[in-house]
A and B are shown apart, each in its own frame.
Chain A
Amino acid sequence: MDHPIFDGIATLFGSGWALFYAVLGTAIGLLAGAIPGLTASAAISMLIPLTFYLDPLSALIFIYTIGKAASFGGSIPAILFNTPGTPQASATQLEGYPLTQQGKQGKALKMAVIASALGDTFSELLLIFGAAFIAIYTVRMGPPELFGVFCCAFVIIGSVIGKSVVRGLISTLLGILLSLVGLDPISAVPRFDFGVPYLQSGIGLVPVLLGVFVVSEVFVQIANRGSLGAERMLSKKSDRPEDNRVTWPEFKQCIPVMAKSTGLGTIIGMLPGIGASAACFVAYAEAKRSSKTPERWGKGAIEGVAAAESANNSVSGANLIPLLTLGIPGSVLAALLGGVFLIHGMSIGPKIFVESKDIVYGLFASGLLCIALYFLMGYFGSNLVGRVIAILPVRAIYPFIFVTSIVAVYALRNTLFDVAAMCVFGLFGYIMKKFDYSLPAFIIAFILGPGAEEALRQSLLLSPDGWGIFLERPVAMFFILAAVAIVAFRAYQTTRAKPAGEQLEMAE
């Protein structure tokens, strides 16, 4: 069977550095996901500047494998300490920790890694065999269609995540607005530089990412410092061998759950902005609802671990489908990967399958290798990782993260302006978190903003009818109307969710 993935595998194994970074990225991702408070986004944001020194393939593989492995890594503290290492492990702890309390942490960890690997493999295969097929159609889309897709993506990102449609949309619009700082892409006129020469090239992506994801979390944790330092104790394991492994009847029992959850996670992963955190809860809720023994749930139902983990890991491959076919990231992690593509001079979108085919399929091959690696590391080494996390001094993690992010952002352009920008965005991100505005929506909009403006202005230049061009293009019209419908539906949903008397009530 002649498929470019085999060339991708040859490219991966033909490059010693690419292999090295695949292994290193998997190990770092596993640890980063396992350390509560250090999310995959934060770890990747800190390491992006280091990828400048790497060749494009190694850089992309490094970042991709960190994100993939972290999705599983977050389940380790969720199961052992009832503290998810990543947001997408929040559903895993609901059944994982009760199993630990029964001495069955070995069973829970092994089920988590099996489900993660299976879900991830399905999603990766869909990416490998499906993305190029979709790209054949999306490459024909012109600026009006792309603008329609951007509108729909912004609306989904802004209004589907979070409780408030208005706050979500403000976050999205603010992200787009700040992305316009710099030179106008068509007329090269400076915009919003406020007399600062560094701003003429725009606000850098890395200072914003590090500020919003890393430094803001440092501010959040310093405000919560009273609750830091709570020791994590490893629970005693059961002596029975069957409590420390997944038996064949248990695995068979979880197959239908994993299949359904993988499907749900894959579909959610392809929708921009929703991400793994939503996928794990949707899959968990559905598995519980359809269980014949719902009374066991919440007390250590192994199917709950399987559902959550297969869903959250099946998001990672699916996330890349909209990124590579439309240039629209399906999640923050995909957005970060998109940033690495841009940093190395590759434009994301359907043409990438022609212009950088070797690199893309090399990346896909590294995804398969990463799954195999974190499966082995997780199956045999999760307990060791748990012991490491138990002794990590929590109060020292955030100062270390803070100092690392300073040097990481300085490494970008050797300017203190980037460091100052990161600190400002750190405070800004803290304020957004405190007031419950959506940071993922802000970041994804910040990344997509310039492309959306360019698509809009090119569309208006293409046609003598001006705005009428959107009426002449059915695909563009479809996506714009879908955007309007989604906002209206979400606004209706959130209005109906509040009983009339509580709509204006103070929460406290």
Chain B
Amino acid sequence: MSARADFVSAFLMMGIAIVFFVTATTIEVDPHEPGIGSRAVPMALALLICLLSLCLIARSFRAVRQSGWALLDRDELDLFVAWVLPMAAIAIGYVVLIDMFQYLLPTVVVTAATLALFGNRGKTWLLATPVAVGLAYYVVFFGLLRLLESPGTVIEYENNIFFGPLRKLLGL
């Protein structure tokens, strides 16, 4: 693993640790509570992470300076921006869409989007498969296993309209 990766990741880990350390100082502590209290262990862990991160930074500092402070790998960054960020956007967007439109429609859309992002093309992959997958999961999880579907904020419907008769038919 390169010194550059150590250098960058150490700052990331230290950042997380500092956030937790600062937040730990706000944890309520009963002064009469015996033992070490609620804050001690999280603060100790955060401090240890910071110390180890500093070790990584110290270990990689000279090499990074010799490289002219080239902290980013251009190719990796391009891949991250071109593919990983859109996938992350799809993931977070899926959550938002389910909140707005309930489960079925976002699942069909996101399945199609993910298949497209992975390089699948054609009506079979981008239309038939997402509809089939969406319907299959909807029927199995929300119909047969009776998973609760929260009402959407934009489109709201009661899925019992579809699944009530199905369950009756199957004797469930």
A residues with a Cβ closer than 8 A to B are 53, 163-164, 166-167, 169-170, 173-174, 176-177, 180, 184, 186-187, 189-192, 194, 215, 218-219, 221-223, 225, 228-229, 393, 395-396, 398-400, 402-404, 406-407, 410-411, 414, 416, 419-420, 423, 426-427, 430-431, 434-437, 453, 456-457, 460-461, 503-508
Q: Is B94 located at the chain interface by the 8 A CB criterion?
A: yes
Cβ contact of B42, chosen from A180, A419, A503, cutoff 8 A: A180
Cβ contact of A177, chosen from B20, B64, B91, B147, cutoff 8 A: B20
Given contacts A174-B49, A177-B20, A194-B23, contact A403 B114 (CB under 8 A): yes
Cβ contact of A191, chosen from B38, B55, B111, cutoff 8 A: B38
Q: Decide if A396 touches B98 in the complex (CB within 8 Å).
A: no
Residues of chain A within 8 A (CB-CB) of B29 are: 189
Given contacts A187-B30, A407-B141, contact A506 B24 (CB under 8 A): no
Given contacts A403-B133, A420-B95, A435-B1, contact A414 B60 (CB under 8 A): no
The B3-24 residues at the A interface (CB cut-off 8 A) are 3-6, 8-9, 12-13, 16-17, 20, 23-24
Residues of chain B within 8 A (CB-CB) of A503 are: 59
Residues of chain B within 8 A (CB-CB) of A505 are: 3, 63
Cβ contact of B83, chosen from A223, A416, A420, cutoff 8 A: A223
Residues of chain A within 8 A (CB-CB) of B147 are: 407, 410-411, 414
Q: Decide if B38 touches A420 in the complex (CB within 8 Å).
A: no
C-alpha gap A97/B30 in the complex (Å): 63
Q: Decide if A53 touches B145 in the complex (CB within 8 Å).
A: yes
Q: Decide if B88 touches A427 in the complex (CB within 8 Å).
A: yes
Q: Is B118 located at the chain interface by the 8 A CB criterion?
A: yes
Given contacts A189-B27, A403-B133, contact A457 B35 (CB under 8 A): yes
Q: Decide if A411 touches B141 in the complex (CB within 8 Å).
A: yes
Residue of A nearest to B88 (CB): A427
- How many chain B residues sit at the interface, stated as a range, is 35 or more
Q: Is B171 located at the chain interface by the 8 A CB criterion?
A: no
Report, nearest first, the 10 A-B pairs whose CB atoms are least far apart: A507-B2, A399-B114, A435-B9, A423-B91, A184-B38, A436-B1, A504-B63, A177-B45, A414-B148, A222-B83
Q: Decide if B118 touches A225 in the complex (CB within 8 Å).
A: yes
Residues of chain A within 8 A (CB-CB) of B3 are: 504-507
Q: Decide if B9 touches A460 in the complex (CB within 8 Å).
A: no
Given contacts A396-B125, A414-B148, contact A219 B88 (CB under 8 A): yes
Cβ contact of B88, chosen from A170, A407, A423, A506, cutoff 8 A: A423
Residues of chain A within 8 A (CB-CB) of B137 are: 403-404, 407
Q: Decide if A177 touches B1 in the complex (CB within 8 Å).
A: no
Q: Decide if B28 touches A219 in the complex (CB within 8 Å).
A: no
Q: Give 28 A-B contacts (CB < 8 Å), ordered by A residue.
A: A170-B52, A170-B56, A174-B16, A174-B49, A184-B38, A187-B30, A189-B27, A192-B20, A192-B42, A222-B84, A223-B83, A396-B125, A416-B150, A419-B95, A423-B92, A423-B95, A426-B91, A435-B12, A436-B1, A456-B41, A457-B35, A457-B41, A504-B63, A505-B63, A506-B3, A506-B4, A507-B1, A508-B2
Residues of chain B within 8 A (CB-CB) of A504 are: 3, 59-60, 62-63, 66
Q: Decide if A187 touches B38 in the complex (CB within 8 Å).
A: yes
Q: Decide if A189 touches B133 in the complex (CB within 8 Å).
A: no
